[in-house]
Structure 1
Amino acid sequence: MDITDSIINYRRFLKRKNCAKGTIKNYMNSLKNFAIWIDLPIEEVTNQNIQAYIDSLLDKRLRPKTINNNLDSIRGFYNYLQNEEKAVNSNPVKKGYCLRLSRPLPKHLRDEQAQEIFKFIKSIRDRAIFRLMLRCGLRVEEVADLTLSAIDLKRGQILIFKGKGSKGRIVYFSKDTYDALIAYIKARKSLRTQGLFLVEKGTCKGKGISVRGIQKRIEYYSKKSRIKVSCHHLRHTMATQLLNAGADLEIIQDLLGHSKITTTQRYCKVSNLRVQREYHKAMEYVLQR
C-alpha cells in the first residue's frame, strides 16, 4: 500500500469531517515526518516500530506535548485506515502511548495588571481586540475570524460561528467592551471585507488581521508594560474573574466553549478569592457556635 496515496485520502477524509485548516495542516506535517522516518509499508508497522519512533523524537529533544501531538496524528491516521479503508487489522499506536505532561495552573492577570496594560494600548482597534478577550473570553483564532455580521450591538452579544472543534456559541459583552467596539466600528473604513478587525499598515492594509498579527500586538504591549501576558492569559483572566464573582462553572463552561467541565474546573485552583470568601464565611459560623 502506498503511504502517500493513503495520506492524501486521509486528508480528504478530514476535510469532509470539516476539521479546521490548522488541524489538518498539523496532522499532515506529523504524517509526513513519520512517512519519511518509517522504512516499512504502513500495514506492516508494529507497536515496536511506534516505540522506536517515539525514541527518535525524544532524541531530537522535542517537547512531550509535541510528541503526543505526533502520536495523536498517527493514531488517527491508523484509525482511518482500519475503519474506513479496511487496510489494516489493528492500530499500532495504542492509547497508552503518550508522554506524561505537566499540568500547570492557568495563568491570569491581577486586576491592576490588566488596567496597567490597557494604559499602553492607544490603538482603537487593539483596545477592541483585547477587550473581547478579557471580557468575553474569546480565543485569538475566534477574534481573527470575527465578521461584522457576528456582532449584535443591540442585544450585546456575539455569535461565534466556528469555535474550537467547529462548535458555535453565543457570548455576551460588557459595557466597556461595547464602548470599545463602537469606537472601532465607527473609525473602521467601509470596505467590502467582512472581517471585523483589519490590518492598518503595510502591504496587507485593509485585509483581515491574522492570528499571528494579533499575537504580535499583545507581545508588543507586554514588552511596553513589562507585564508578562499572552492572548490566552486574557481568556484565563476572564474565567477567573467570573469564578471570583460567584458565577457557576457550567455558565463559564458555556461562555468559554469548553467541551468538558473538567477543563473549566482547573480555574477553581487559581480562583483563590472565592475560596478565601467561603473559608472566612464558614469560620465565622464555626466560631459563633
Structure 2
Amino acid sequence: MVRLGACFLVLFFLVVLTEAASPEAESSKKAKCKVEKYKHCYNSEHVCPKVCPGGDCVVDCKSCKPICKCDIPGAVCQDPRFIGGDGITFYFHGKKDREFCLVSDSNLHINAHFIGRRNQNMKRDFTWIQSIGVLFDSHRLYVGAQKTVTWDNSIDRLALTFDGEPIFLPHGEGSKWQSKIAPSVSITRSGNTNGIIIEVSGNFKITATVVPITEEESRVHNYGITKEDCFAHLELGFKFYSLSEDVNGVLGQTYKRDYTSRVNVSAAMPVMGGVREFSSTGLFSADCSVARFGQGGLSASHEYANMECGSGFNGNGIVCKK
C-alpha cells in the first residue's frame, strides 16, 4: 500500500511538471486594465482565455474580465472576420492582391490590401489583410506586415510610413512616435515588437498587430500555407470618435444608426458581399463606389461621446449599441 501511494505521488508530480513545461502553459498571455477611472480594476492583471486567436486579449475594465481582442466590435481578424459597430459578426473575403474600402467618411478613409491563397475546392480565395492605407485631413498613413518565411515574434515585421516618410519606432512596449507636423498623430508600441496603437485626437484609434498563419491553423482550415511564406498579416481594432451619418465601407456602414445588417446572421459563416461596391484601385485611392472622403457630412460624435460602453472603452467606435 505504501509503494502504491508513492507511485501515485510520483505520477502526480510528473503530470504537474509536464503541464508547467508545456508550450501552451508557457505561451499564456496576460492583459491589464489601463483605464484609471475603474479603480476596482485598474492595473490588475488577467490571463487571456485560451480560446483567443493568438492568445491576445484586452481587459473589460467595467466587468474586470479579459475579452479576446477579436471579439470586440470594430475588430478585424483572421479570414477577415469583422465585428461591426452594431455588434454583428460577419466575414468579408474580398479577393487576394486587391484593395477594398473598409471605412469612408468625410475626413477619414481606410483601405485594406488583401493577400491570400486560392483553394481549388472553393469558389473564393482564403484572404487576410496585409496592410492598410489611412487618409485623413491631408495626411497618408501606411501600416503593413512584411513578408516573412519563418515567424519569430522577437523580430519586428511592421512597416510604417507617414506622408511617405518611414517611421522608425524603437523596440519595447510603450515606445512612442509623435508627428512633428501633425502633433495629434501618435503611434505607441503595445508590445516589444509587432504591435502598435495609432491615435489621431478627435478622429480615430487603431490597434494593429502582425501575426502569422501557423502550421496548426493551416492544417485545420486547409489553407495550404508552405514554408516559403507564413502569410504574416494584420489583426486590427478600430475606434472612431467623429463618424458622420453618411459613413460607408465594409466596416464603416455598420456604424450608421439606421443600418440593417446585410448578412444572414443565422448562417455558420455570415458573409458580406460587395466586392465591386467596396473595391478600390489602390491603397490610397478613395475611389470605391461608396467613397465619402472629402465630402461634407453631419458628425454624429456629439450623440455618442459620453456613452458608457460595455467593453470598458469609451466612444462610439468600440461597443456602443444603437
Bucket of the pairwise TM-score, normalised by the shorter protein: under 0.3
- Under a length normalisation based on structure 1, what TM-score does the superposition of the two structures give? 0.28
Task: Kindly indicate which of the two structures has a greater share of residues assigned to helix.
Answer: 1
Task: Kindly indicate which of the two structures has a greater share of residues assigned to strand.
Answer: 2
- Under a length normalisation based on structure 2, what TM-score does the superposition of the two structures give? 0.25
Structure label with greater radius of gyration? 1
